[in-house]
Structure formats: structure tokens, C-alpha cells
Amino acid sequence: MKISLNQDWLFHLGDEKDSDFMGWDDRAWEKVTLPHDWAVHYPFDRRHSSGTGYLPGGTAWYRKHFVLTEEEAAQPTRLLFEGVYKHARVWINSYYLGNHAYGYTSFSYDVTPYLRAGENVIAVRVEHEDVADSRWFTGSGIDRNVYLLCQPQPGFVEGSIFVRTEKVEGTEATVLVDYATEAKQGKVTARIEDTVLEGDAGEGTLTFKVPNARLWSPDTPELYTLTMTVDDGSGRAAAEETVSFGIRTFRFDPDHGFFLNGESMKLRGVCVHHDAGVLGGGCTQECVEKTPRKVQAERLQCDPHRA
């Protein structure tokens, strides 16, 4: 079960000693919603003329209060950050979990030992002092989603399920599914449409033969759904994951360029480092859906689906 923690965070620009303490008085802090980029909420200033686009970097703190029942607090749980720019240090209930320096990758922590029934508090220190760290505007803050991942039974290792096309011959595709489970005993079951395969818990790879494969391309973005379950050793399904994927082949030829599904294709597009353009790193789904890519693609007279 994935629980969103994007609402009702408290924010303070500036370093404030002891803000990692669960009982810290944060009542005067600013209320924000994630994703959040603190830089875009401040006026432009020539003092910040380097990689932050005339907006402030610095160091800031975030805190999140949330309540769990006894049953919820007893479940194996991970705290997932999809992205923090940058140098994030994380605490929960005054326990230090670790740090993550890079701003564009997700990271998570096992918080099971530290959760409690009733109120829990997450504290995050974000440091973006070296603002000449990029050639584009990066933003500053917790600029992607945050979740609690609650799993009553051992399931799949986070990010371990990976689907890849090995080859396509005629109308049949060979698809490989890599996986890893937290439990080392039991069985894994995988389904793609009407084909079901089984494997052992732990690490493994399953090979699917997909007849009459519908190939993915920008013009025909066909997607398949992989459903995977792992049992707890007794034959009962303990966890389930679904992954959407496309079947396609590609290659680069030094003399003739890029080929998708055996057909030559020109790579055309625009350089958009953030989907929300001038809005920075903290953008909502609505911003993403109104991405400036289509407008820029029209200016370049190219297919917006390839931008």
C-alpha cells in the first residue's frame, strides 16, 4: 500500500539547530504542499546570479506530522522520497535515517523500527549552498513526491522489477522480466495477458514469449501490463506489483543513425530540463500536462510526441 505524504508539510528557510528533534516547536513555520521548490517563491536578486537563475539557494528544513494506528505502525514500512534537491538528511521521530546527496534520484529508508502508534514526525534538512552546481535552473527543496510504502508481508525489493525486450522475430517477441524479492523462500508468479510463468523467490529472470506482439512507437504507443505476485511460502499471495511496459527494439548505426523497430527514425526535440519550465522543480501534475514541449515543438515544426 502506497500512502501519499505530500500534504501539510512545514517549511523553514535557514538552518535551525535541533529541528530534527521530534518535539521541536515548528508552529510558526510556513505550511507547504509537495512538490515544493522554495526558490520560486522569492524575488529575483542579482546576488543569486549563478546556477539558481537569480533565485536563492541556501539551507532549509521541512517537517511533517502524521498519525498512524497501532496496526499501521506495526507493518513493515519504507519512507520513499522521489527526489530532493539536494543533500537531504532525514530523521523520523528523532532517529537519523541517513543522507542522499544527489537531487535527481529517488531514495528510501526502512522506518519500521521507528514508527509508533499516534503522532510521528519526519524532519528533512536540505542543503543547496553550492548554487553554481548546474548549467540550468534546478530549484531547491523536496521537489518530488513522498510516500509511505506499507507492506504487511515481505514483497519485492523496491525497483527490482525490470522488463526488457530481448528480441522480436516476425510477430513474436521475447520479453525478459528481472526481479528480486525480500523473502528468500516461496514462489513468484508473473502474468502478461494470458501467459503465466512461475519462478523461485529471491533473484531471478523469467522469459516470456509474446505472440502477435504489438510494438511500441511514438505513433502507436502500445503498452502491456505485467502483474507479479510473491507468496509467503504457504502458497498465499503476500504482495503484488504491476508494471506497464512497451515492446520495442532499437539500435544505433554509426552510418545510418537510429532505428526503432527496424525503421529509421530521426531524433528531434527540444532541451527541457524541467517539465514545468519557468515554474522550476516543484511542479504539479497539472503543470506537467500543460508542458511547454508542445509549444516549442510547434516552433521547431516537429512532431510533439517526439519532443
Q: What pLDDT is recorded for position 9?
A: 98
Q: What pLDDT is recorded for position 34?
A: 95
DSSP 90-107: EEETTEEEEEE--SSS-E
The three-state secondary structure class of 306 is: helix
Q: What pLDDT is recorded for position 134?
A: 80
Q: What pLDDT is recorded for position 238?
A: 72
CATH 2.60.120.260 domain range(s) in the chain: 2-150
**Residue 16 — φ and ψ, nearest 5°?**
-130, 105
- The yes-or-no verdict on residue 5 having pLDDT over 90 is yes
- The letter for the amino acid at 262 is G
- The yes-or-no verdict on residue 93 having pLDDT over 70 is yes
Fold of the domain built from segment(s) 2-150: Jelly Rolls (2.60.120)
8 A C-beta contact, residue 154 and residue 239? yes
Q: What percent of the chain has pLDDT over 90?
A: 65
189: enclosing H helix or E strand:
strand 187-192
- The yes-or-no verdict on residue 299 having pLDDT over 50 is no
8 A C-beta contact, residue 226 and residue 237? no
CATH 2.60.40.10 domain range(s) in the chain: 162-250
Q: What pLDDT is recorded for position 18?
A: 95
The three-state secondary structure class of 186 is: coil
Question: Cα–chain-centroid distance for residue 238?
Answer: 23
Sequence-distant (6+) residues with CB within 8 A of 92 are: 79, 109, 111, 114, 115, 120, 121, 122, 123
Read off the pTM. Answer: 0.72
Domain 162-250: CATH class, spelled out? mainly beta
Q: How confident is the model at residue 186 (pLDDT cuts 50, 70, 90)?
A: confident
Range with the lowest mean pLDDT among 63-77, 114-128, 148-162, 163-177? 148-162
More confident residue, 178 or 134: 178
Distances (CA, A) of 280 to 132, 262, 276, 284: 16, 38, 6, 11
- The yes-or-no verdict on residue 290 having pLDDT over 90 is no
> Pseudo-torsion of CA 296, 301, 303, 307, nearest 10°?
-30
- The yes-or-no verdict on residue 225 having pLDDT over 90 is yes
8 A C-beta contact, residue 187 and residue 199? yes
